[in-house]
Chain A
Amino acid sequence: MTAAVDIESVNLNLGGKLVLSDLSLALGPGESLAVVGPNGSGKTSMLRLLATLVKPSSGTGTILDRQILSPTIREIRGRIGLISHTPALIGELTIAENLEHFARLAGQNSDDCTRALHVVGLEQVADRRVNESSFGMQRRTEIAWLLVAKPDLLLLDEAKSGLDVDARELVDVMIDLTLGRSGTVIAVSHELSQLGSALHRQMHLISGRLEPLS
């Protein structure tokens, strides 16, 4: 793999609005980036674009060696881990059932799920339903899933907000593990202090434009 993310002059139009403008970004394996920006600056859209969930309106480049505008970009989805600002779990299932469901769909070993729940400290509450669990527990469940999935590209959207000290540390551990495997990490937040020092580079996203942090 040459570069994890290498995109140039990418624009994203959503509903007639230019959400990302002239975005260029290059990150190699083992590299990481922190992006800070105010509410509505396009941070979430940028992560969804990098996760191949929205197609750029124009631009060139690759993500995990696939051309961003080609239909084959879908094939890298299994290698991307995303933590969204709201947890994506199924409320009626228990914490353990959610993990097992994801593992089955992704073709992963469900024994890993038990170990991951142990690592994130949720073994005791594994049989609790998600809609009866706290936000922090839900976040830890998602981190447990990323421990199982071992993504090559880890995208974190306000992953630390609303978490206690221990859970925030888990996020840092997740980042270190990913970088240690020569994975790539991009984290966004509206606050630099939420992003931590584990990330190599820092940039600013304002009104859909990425700029060096001054």
Chain B
Amino acid sequence: MSFTSQIREVARVDLVVERRTGETFRIVLPFAIVTLIIFSLSLGGDVAILRTVGPAVFWAVSVLFGMQLALRASALDSPTRRDLMLLLDLDPAARFLGRTLASATIVLVFMTVLFATMVVLFDPSLPGGWFWPVAAAISLAAIGLAALSTLAGGVAAGTRNRSSLASLIVAPLAIPVVVGGSQVLEAMERNSGILLWILLLITSDLALLVAGVGLSRPLEEASR
């Protein structure tokens, strides 16, 4: 089976499994929306403040919850399943890319719904022509978070405290994603260019994807 069809097959199965467990839309998304509500209440419901901080809160919640999604339990392989995948001659790089593709898709859908919710709850004043830049920022951020979380999930696999440990690993390294993503709207408001921030997101994504592909073989060897 060719490399790209292996990627597709891994991503397809991950998405089917995710749809059947429903972790994203039954648990994480509602929780993230409640978090948005808690934020707006803790800011005292001051409309002026809410308008200003809305997008920033969206990015903070997106990154923290998006990372939980990419570390979801259904993306966790049992040791015997890992063995079987190796015996099926599945390229570890294809496995990394397939899993990242599936996670990025899930995180992208999640962030899109969350953004819409934020617009409703916080009523931010979005600058004209915001749609495409925001769509690009969200998509690129989803890829970065997915790649980083897939790597961290692999590094922390099989440890007693996998999910909290992987979160600790992902959160500080996800800062370029938060900065790049949140600054796109800010830059539009200031009328300065957004290209820089999009480039930052692309650079970060590429660095993580290259690292993931390059490190997938050693990571697999360390997964016994």
Contacts and interface: CB of A to CB of B under 8 A. Distances in A.
B84 A88 contact: yes
B46 interface: no
A88 B81 contact: yes
B88 A102 contact: yes
A81 B87 contact: yes
Given A53-B224, A104-B9, A92 B87 contact: no
Interface stretch (B15-23, B52-60, B99-107): B15-23
- The CB with the most chain A CB atoms within 10 A, among B10, B13, B21, B87, is that of B87
A57 interface: no
Contact of B17 (A55, A81, A90, A105): A90
A77 interface: yes
Interface residues of A, number: 27
A51 B80 contact: no
Contact of B1 (A77, A82, A97, A104): A104
A87 to B, nearest CB: 7
B86 A77 contact: yes
Interface string A84-109: 10111110110001000110111100
A54 interface: yes
B1 A105 contact: yes
28 contacts: A53-B83, A55-B221, A77-B86, A77-B89, A78-B89, A80-B87, A82-B83, A82-B84, A84-B80, A87-B80, A88-B84, A90-B13, A92-B16, A92-B21, A93-B13, A93-B16, A101-B9, A101-B13, A104-B1, A104-B9, A105-B1, A105-B6, A105-B9, A105-B89, A106-B1, A106-B88, A107-B1, A129-B20
Given A78-B88, A88-B81, A101-B9, 7 more contacts: A48-B83, A53-B83, A80-B87, A84-B84, A97-B16, A102-B84, A105-B1
Interface of A: 14, 48, 51, 53-55, 77-78, 80-82, 84, 86-90, 92-93, 97, 101-102, 104-107, 129
